[in-house]
Amino acid sequence: TARLRTQSAAALVTQGLLMVVLIGTVDYLTGNEFSFFIFYLLPVFMVTLGAGRNMGLGMAAASTGAWLIADILSVGAYSHPMVPYWNAVVRLSFFSIVVILQEAFWRERDIARTDFLTRLNNRKMFYEAASAEIERLKRYGQPFSLAYLDLDNFKKVNDLYGHKAGDNLLKIVSAVIRNNVRRIDIAARLGGDEFAVLLPETGGDAAGAVVTKLKNMLQLAMDRHRWPVTFSIGIATYEVAPLSVDELVSSADDLMYAAKRAGKDRIHRMVKGK
C-alpha cells in the first residue's frame, strides 16, 4: 500500500485500465460458466488507494463496462434484453459502495496516524515506519538514517508572541520539512517542538547533505518571519540494524542534545557501521 501511494494518479489509472482489459479478455474467452467478478475489484481497490475516491469511481465504471461487454459477447441471448444492463447497474452500485467504504477506511486510518496541528505523521505512524525500515535493513542490508530536529528558543516565541504564534511557527516548520524531503521519506512530529525525518536507503554522507539543505531552508523561513529560532539536529545512520525503534530514536535524540550542548544551531552525526 505504501508503494501504491507513492505512484502518480496517471500511472495508477493506466495500470488499472490495463488490468481491466486483461481481466475482461480472460472473462470473455472463458465463457459465461466461469465468474471473474471478484477480479474486477483488483483495479478498483488499487486506483482508489493510490489516486482517491473519484478515480476509484471511474475505475469502477471501467470495470463494470468491461464485464458488461464480456458478458454480452459470451452469453449472446438473454431472457430479456434489459437483463445485462440491470446486472451492470447492480455491479456498478456494488463497486461504488466498495470505493466509498475503502476511501473512508483509509481516511480514518490516516487521521489516526496524523498530527492534528501540523498534518505530519504522528509518533504512532513514525514508529511503524521505523520498525519496517529496521526489518528492511535486516533483510536487504540497505542503510538508513534518522534526523531528529529540535527548535532552539521555541519557548521564547511562545513567551513573546503567544501560543497562537507558536502554533503557526510549528505549521510553517512542518510545511518546509514536507516540501524538502523525498516522497519515500517519513517526516513526523514526535511531540512539542521535536520532529523526526526517516531517510530510507540513505547513508551518512547523503543524509548529511539532505539535512543540511533542509536546515538552511528552515532557517530562511524563520528569518523571514523574524523569529529567534534555530535548529539543533542529530543524525543517526545505521548500516547494521538497531535492536529496536527506541534505540534508534534514543541515538538520534542523544546526538541532537549534544548539538544543543555544543552551542545549538548545528548538526551532529553518527554512523553505526558493520
Residues classed as catalytic: 193
Cell of 171: 505549521
C-alpha cell at 157: 516565541
Q: Do 180 and 217 touch, CB atoms closer than 8 A? A: yes
Phi first, then psi, for residue 189 (nearest 5°) are -100, 120
Q: Kindly list the distances between the CA atom of residue 66 and the CA atoms of 156, 173, 182, in Å, as whole numbers in the listed order.
A: 62, 47, 37
Cβ–Cβ under 8 Å, residues 217 and 176: yes
Q: What are the cell numbers at 257? A: 542534545
Cα distance between residue 85 and residue 65, in whole Å: 10
Please name which of 86, 37, 90 lies closest in space to residue 66, comparing C-alpha atoms. Answer: 37
What distances in angstroms separate CA 69 from CA 155, 165, 258, one per listed residue? 65, 59, 67
CB 189 within 8 A of CB 195: yes
C-alpha cell at 29: 474467452
Q: Which residues of 124-162 are buried (b: 16+ CB within 10 A; e: fewer)?
A: ebbbebbeebbeebeeeeebbbbbbbbbbbbeebeeeee
**Element spanning 191, H or E:** strand 186-191
